[in-house]
Amino acid sequence: MKKTYALVLAAGKGTRMKTELPKCAFPILKKPMIAYIVEKLERSAIDETVVVVGHKKEVLKDILKDRVTYVEQTEMLGTGHAALQAEAVLADKEGVTLILPGDMPLMPVKLTNKILQAHETMGNDLTVVSMTFNNPKSYGRIVRDKYGMVSAIVEDKDCSDEQKHIKEVNSGVYVVNNKILFKILKQIKLNDRKGEYYITDMIALMKHDYKVGAFGVYDAHLMMGVNDLYSVSVAERYLRDEINKGHMLSGVQMVAPNTITIGHNVIIEPGVTIMPNTTITGLSTVREGSVIGPNTEIHNGNIDEYCQVKHSLIYDSIVGAHTTVGPFAHLRNGANIGDHNRVGNFVEVKNSTTGSGTKAAHLSYIGDSEVGSRVNFGCGSITVNYDGVNKHKTKIGNDVFVGCNVNMVAPLEIGDEVFIAAGSTVTENVPKGSLTIERGQQINKDAYFNNLIKPKAKK
């Protein structure tokens, strides 16, 4: 196969999205749609990807980094003008260019390769990827001559009454031989009605002197563009079903999979069970034997084998093997929970590490801390990490027992084998093997109740 390039048109604002983000950066299952496109192109037969940026270009560049070559469209003058901006990068290169919009996140790698192969096999100079809809409203129609050859693409608003009944429509994806592409783009005339240069006008310009063909895609949803918030939900539904099916066929049990959302880059090993109303996104990994959910959200989380996580939130954190999390726990900002831990009801762990066998069963906060192994946090015990200006660190050794309602005021170091009595507010370091008690002296006033409500003497 010839050298192949991809030209992604991603310069538009996407005003119908009603968002400050450029359209192609809008998240689908918490991942920018442009990232889906570029990742799939990287796994396809494409050798180099060029992205046309414009509106808020820095947002797209921050997403894609140096994975692609950038060209800029400074004026929004339509798709033909956008493609022409790649002339300096692609015009002198032998091969073919796949042109596609930056709002088409569902097109799979296999289909991309099949389109490129069809273009070469048919010997086309231009291949238009088409779809068939019973209700083709808003799509450009594929117009064929009396011999069945593609002769034009007419935008919906420019269609005659007869053309509006055509069901074969343009997907917005094309393959063009590089040596021809930019010569033809320069011949496109400005559309008076829209004030734009339509890339679709290539077909009429090429039909007499070059071979123009079409490649039909039967699963039209694979080529859907995401143009508004409703179409975001439709794309997410298709992606969710595709991703969940793949995991289930690989040995992941899902209970009520229609309520489960798994991100595109999530790794789940066989033998995992996902319960209803669970969302796992980002660069998350779930190892064998773990049970996740119900009602759980994990983003950029690494869950080791044979864990149980239910009714909880885990963000940017690690959970060690054979650990239970929840219900109603919250791990965030780099929490690293050791093996055989218990993080129980209404426990929050932030930017902290724990060793093996450590337990915080309920109503605790562990923040900015290094916690050893076999530590027990009693109900209501917390690390007090913030003095109103700065965050401070707490270090807790191994085999420490923290009583209920203990405040450990950082910066603080607690040695191994320490007992801290319930109700203590600890502000000084505690040496190994100590019992620490810090509380006011208890005073009992006898018969206080009786004296308080003693009836008044009768007159």
Active-site annotation, residues: 362
Q: Could you give the angle at which helices 33-43 and 57-64 cross, rounded to 10 degrees?
A: 40
| Secondary structure (DSSP) of 65-79 | TTSSEEEE--S---H
Question: What's the token pair of residue 116?
Answer: 């490129």
Q: Cβ neighbours of residue 304 under 8 Å, at least 6 residues apart?
A: 287, 290, 318, 319, 320, 321, 322, 323, 339
**Cβ neighbour number for residue 231 with a 10 Å cutoff:** 16
**What phi, psi does 94 have (nearest 5°)?**
-70, 145
Stretch (H or E) spanning 125: none
Surface-to-core class of residue 187, CB atoms within 10 Å of its CB (0-12 exposed, 13-18 middle, 19+ buried): exposed
**What phi, psi does 223 have (nearest 5°)?**
-105, 10
Separation CA 84–CA 315 (nearest Å): 43
Surface-to-core class of residue 116, CB atoms within 10 Å of its CB (0-12 exposed, 13-18 middle, 19+ buried): buried
Separation CA 413–CA 395 (nearest Å): 5
SS3 299: strand
**What phi, psi does 363 have (nearest 5°)?**
55, 50
DSSP 8-class letter at 450: H
* Long-range pairs, 118-123, Cβ under 8 A, ≥24: 118/215, 119/175, 119/213, 119/215, 120/1, 120/2, 120/96, 122/211, 122/213, 123/211
CA distances from 180 to 42, 96, 149, 184, 213 (A): 25, 10, 19, 6, 15
Q: Which position has the token pair 């055989």? A: 340
DSSP 8-class letter at 167: -
Name the strands in the sheet holding 407-409, side by side, starting at the edge strand that comes first in the sequence: 261-262, 279-281, 297-299, 313-315, 330-332, 348-350, 365-367, 382-384, 407-409, 425-426
